[in-house]
Chain A
């Protein structure tokens, strides 16, 4: 076995230090070491998007980043985004539109949608579909998700005036 590596990173605003095996990926680290189980694991080969987290401001697949690569980084998970209120309107739109059924893809969907919404403007449905096309949902057929993202974009644009 390869020796553990010490890492220190900021997760949802809290500084965390840990010794991790070099092979442990970030999603496992968040789930198993920090009990932040909102980051879900669907495929562990970077396809499904359920493990999406924000790493230094960019949405990445938690299963394709090693925990050691996150040393010194800032990580935001769905729990952190929920507590800060950053995506409260998006979550409300998902709730009202029933844009989730089993909820397993949802954290990844929210992170990915917020990335698009943060670019500003009101993207058309095709743009939303294209942006969300790396996130797998088996329940909804995607339309409700597209609707919820579109509604949030329009509301944010209206609020900006």
Chain B
């Protein structure tokens, strides 16, 4: 599977890096014996149900809670004004996103609701059912306000300003002008423009958001059990807004039923749960039900992007121009903000190509819909779809094959280090090797021939290509420099136990990607012990080193390197003890399969449990002054490059029925380069899962709001997602260009699939429908969208 691995010969024992070993934590999940927060019950635990605004925009004139308070099982009814005394509001801005503005947001709305679904009152009862019963008896007196729903209308001078103190509904704007765009356009042989529309969609994690907050007044400590990707960030935020010291807050992350970026944010209702626990001096649990998930889990995308490309008749791309507008709901999310996606779009468009003439504008606007924020592949699907959509249109305009125009313009594989027009820095990418590998894998020429044959029979098949770059391993440049207390560094502590077993504590978290597995693999490999001897602890601010967690495709690249360095350091310390015991030198010894051996011959000298026994129980037998150190901590953060870019290319093969507008996915391919592959199976499955999560919004997923800001399809029956029957088999292959920033050389792989899949599918649909001379630049491409483009409805 992996082309090469610089770290190991695979025939050695304990050579786990590069191997598809199964994840150790799967057995309990397969027996239904995991522990998700939604599974947990604590003594005296109250359940909260929220009363949520039925209006997109409304003044709260009064809340009558008398009847609710008298309902069976009710512990308390708490309004926003009451909770505001315990929990201070926040503003989701970062200083490096210059000009970004937002308004203070409360845990529960105080005097105004700004989207349909915003919590306006909380009921805590002995059971969730009782809390919901009581919530129905709360009477809120609303004065409906005019909702701002359309993003372009929101910017008009006479539009209602959602937060009058901000002056207008423009949260953020960024402009970029690189090279000589006007000259390039004037001198081009063809200039093509298109308007791209990206629907709102959401994560639909199968386990909804879940949190239990447990304030112990005796200890003065709040323990928060939460499905989160970033426990230390949550610890900081909860402490800050509940007026506690960080040391008073412990965040524990158990099994998490899907996240994809949904569970990395600070949600108002989850902050309310923490505050309610402090207020009521008892554990309080909240699990979003599915309607609440649709209405309050962050949404994503919702962009309108005008794009333009200039091209010479030989296929040389000479300019990209974009004008992107995105609507983010009434508040910028906290603390990562809702301007990152638009900023990424500006950064990423055209970044895989040599062209250096690029002009971009991005505007981020407030509206009265649910908040949007970072979701898997932040900004990438937009940038990739616009870039690759324009490239296909340019190819069509000059009569060039889509693969050929890409080969003509992709940054050469020997050009690194280099950069993009927007200022991105690339250490080492492999666009051409990836393109060649993909075309061979899919048998591109034969597929084109098949397509042509079938077209004669009235069967419309399409091939879509999409090259992409992906931001991974983010340094402090992402959030830290903007003032957010979100660690870009991760830490790993590793120790040898008295039994000879290894315990690893890491600051990265697990939501199913395989963080636990790769940490065990890397540590076992570094140490020279069987992986079964390694136990990994993660997701607990009391019991792991301080660090960032798992998001932005950073866990393997950053946390993995910390584990590698920690494993190596512990090995050196173990060998120092062994050398003392054996009256040898550490240089002459090695560890293989849990034994200290003679280096070179691998002759067994001491099992690790014997080293541990002497170090812990008979240190009196070691020389005076010798102190064993059988626990070490190492940290890692990339310093040279702000991000470790990865690259790849995807292809979609599909059939469109021009009579019904239905799309049948036949096959999907991806070649990507995430540097060193620690576990090929896990990487491939990240790619596959990511691709399907990109196919979803391309064809099905859409949060459909009406003109009043009402979400009209907030159920799994009405919000379509990819299911097994519609998905194609996906072939995945790799090119390996390790980052030299770390010894491991691993970059991220979690978002590459989602970044490129929509563009590949859209390009394939347009390719299929080429004989009808239509072009579709709107997703999701529902049958209705396709039939409209064909002029049939």
Contacts and interface: CB of A to CB of B under 8 A. Distances in A.
A104 interface: yes
A91 interface: yes
B87 interface: no
Contacts, number: 173
A74 interface: no
B104 interface: no
A78 B22 contact: no
A136 B31 contact: no
Interface string A134-161: 1111111111111000000000000000
Contacts of A98: 22-23, 26, 514, 681-682, 685
A138 B260 contact: yes
A138 B30 contact: no
Given A44-B289, A91-B31, A96-B22, A141 B689 contact: yes
B39 A143 contact: no
B271 interface: no
Interface string A69-83: 000000001110010
B724 A101 contact: no
Interface in B684-722: 685, 688-693, 715-717, 721-722
Given A21-B129, A45-B290, A79-B33, A140 B725 contact: no
For chain B, what secondary structure do more than half of its interface residues adopt (helix, strand, loop), or is it mixed? Answer: loop
Interface residues of B, number: 57
Nearest to A91: B30
A78 to B, nearest CB: 4
A92 to B, nearest CB: 9
Interface in B252-274: 255-260
A103 B30 contact: yes
Interface in A85-137: 91, 94-98, 100-107, 110, 125, 128-130, 132-137
B729 interface: yes
Contact of A78 (B27, B32, B35, B726): B32
Interface stretch (B93-101, B204-212, B433-441, B640-648): B204-212
A102 B290 contact: no
Contacts of B690: 141
B206 to A, nearest CB: 4
B689 A129 contact: no
B512 A100 contact: yes
What's the interface size class on A, roughly?
A: 35 or more
A50 interface: yes
Nearest to B717: A47
A48 B725 contact: no
Contacts of A62: none
Nearest to A104: B257
Nearest to B127: A32
B724 A100 contact: no
Interface string B224-260: 0000000000000000000000000000000111111
B727 interface: yes
B29 interface: yes
Nearest to B34: A103
A139 B510 CA distance: 13
Interface string A45-81: 1011010000000000000000000000000011100
A37 interface: yes
B38 interface: yes
Contacts of B203: 138
A97 B680 CA distance: 11
A136 B689 contact: no
Contacts of A107: 32
B260 A95 contact: no
A129 B725 contact: yes
B716 A48 contact: yes
B724 A40 contact: no
Contacts of B290: 42-45
In this complex, the member of B258, B259, B691, B693 whose beta carbon has the largest number of chain A beta carbons within 10 angstroms is B258
A9 interface: no
B727 A142 contact: yes
B724 A135 contact: yes
A94 B31 contact: no
13 contacts: A21-B129, A40-B38, A40-B257, A44-B290, A45-B717, A95-B22, A95-B27, A97-B681, A103-B257, A129-B727, A137-B206, A140-B692, A141-B693
Interface of A: 1, 21, 23-24, 31, 35-45, 47-48, 50, 77-79, 82, 91, 94-98, 100-107, 110, 125, 128-130, 132-146
7 tightest Cβ-Cβ pairs between the two chains A and B: A38-B32, A103-B29, A101-B512, A104-B257, A141-B692, A102-B512, A78-B32
Given A42-B206, A107-B32, 14 more contacts: A37-B39, A40-B36, A43-B715, A43-B716, A95-B30, A96-B22, A103-B257, A110-B30, A129-B727, A132-B724, A133-B724, A135-B724, A138-B721, A141-B727
